[in-house]
């Protein structure tokens, strides 16, 4: 069996294959609530044969959202709409995950397609769920002073840090109630936990700043606290920007050390991305982040997820076969082809068993007819 299509087990969860839909922000919620858009957007990936579908960065507190359009899990009322999505994914044979997040100083930013004209009246703002607030961060420094979309945040005090930890814990409990199979702690892409990790954003002089050990403290405290309430038979993931891709920033070596500490606290796999700070740039190309997944996998002896322009099936299979990563995650590739996993299975020599029963017979018929036409043309 091709590696990409082979099952894999983390704790008590066995995924039907190694394909993952990475979290993709939709900016389509009002007051944090999932709606029909999220149901259809995520449900199609379950139909498309993916092993694990991870819900977008979901705010653990109201102020944790990247924008007013983000999903949330800061109150019990958010549970039921998410449970509906989880139930559908389970019905299609896919596992369901959710990324728990705090945007930090990158919070309270606009929804890109909704300009001032669409928010001119009170009724428009109400329908959009528009809100605006002052973000928080490890230090009172804007993500990008030259970009008016980013504010100067308020530096978190000890009470504020406690609120963040409590927010992650409470959101994890709600994720369990919604039926999710795994949660992912978001410590990447220049958001709050990445801000604490990186010298580019963390200028504190207390126990949460300065040395690498101090800068890792909040991430490790959150991982430990979430693991304590997350069921022992369910895996816990963490997403890291393995490198800030900027001079003086967080490095691959730092991530290997952090991954080892996360593993010791019960994290089961690392989702390996990169970047997120205004100072760092990297050229996006096929497989450009795979070396990060390989470095963490080898250095910390922990399963890793590769992500970043991995839509070529043969290349994805080779990454797994070569031991560079354990999972292949798609975002834009999944949007381009929500049936990528079932198509990959066929391309790698499989049958139509991964297709939903409603479409399996039609797909098999099309294959037979195409084969017949090919023979007739010879």
Active-site residues, by number, are: 191
Q: Which of 255, 236, 244, 307 is nearest to 278 (CA)?
A: 244
């Amino acid at each position: 069996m091709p590696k990409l299509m082979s099952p894999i087990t983390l704790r008590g969860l066995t995924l039907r294959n190694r394909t993952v839909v990475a979290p993709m922000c939709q900016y389509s919620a009002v007051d944090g609530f999932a709606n029909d858009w999220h149901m259809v957007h995520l449900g199609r990936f379950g139909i498309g044969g993916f092993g694990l579908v991870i819900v977008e960065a979901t705010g653990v507190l109201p102020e944790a959202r990247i924008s007013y359009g983000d999903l949330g899990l800061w109150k019990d009322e958010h549970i039921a709409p998410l449970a509906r999505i989880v139930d559908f994914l389970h019905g299609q044979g896919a596992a369901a995950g959710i990324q728990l997040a705090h945007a930090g100083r990158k919070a309270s930013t606009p929804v890109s397609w909704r300009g001032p004209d669409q928010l001119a009246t009170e009724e428009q703002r109400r329908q959009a769920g528009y809100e605006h607030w002052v973000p928080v961060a490890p230090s009172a420094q804007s993500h990008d002073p030259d970009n008016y979309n980013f504010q100067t945040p308020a530096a978190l005090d000890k009470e504020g840090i406690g609120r963040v930890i409590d927010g992650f814990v409470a959101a994890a409990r709600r994720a369990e109630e919604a039926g999710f199979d795994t949660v992912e702690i978001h410590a990447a892409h220049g958001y709050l936990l990445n801000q604490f990790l990186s010298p580019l954003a963390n200028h504190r002089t207390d126990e949460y700043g300065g040395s690498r050990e101090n800068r890792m403290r909040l991430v490790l405290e959150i991982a430990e606290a979430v693991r304590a309430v997350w069921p022992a038979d369910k895996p816990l993931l963490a997403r890291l920007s393995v490198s800030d891709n900027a001079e003086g920033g967080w490095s691959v070596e730092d991530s290997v050390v952090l991954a080892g500490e996360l593993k010791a606290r019960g994290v089961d796999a690392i989702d390996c991305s990169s970047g997120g700070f205004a100072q760092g740039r990297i050229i996006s190309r096929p497989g450009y982040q795979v070396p990060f997944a390989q470095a963490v996998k080898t250095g910390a002896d922990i399963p890793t997820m590769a992500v970043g322009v991995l839509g070529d099936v043969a290349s994805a299979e080779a990454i797994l076969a070569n031991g560079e990563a354990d999972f292949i995650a798609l975002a834009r590739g999944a949007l381009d082809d929500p049936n990528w996993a079932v198509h990959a299975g066929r391309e790698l020599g499989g049958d139509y068993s991964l297709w939903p029963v409603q479409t399996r017979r039609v797909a098999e018929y099309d294959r037979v007819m195409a084969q017949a036409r090919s023979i007739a043309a010879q």
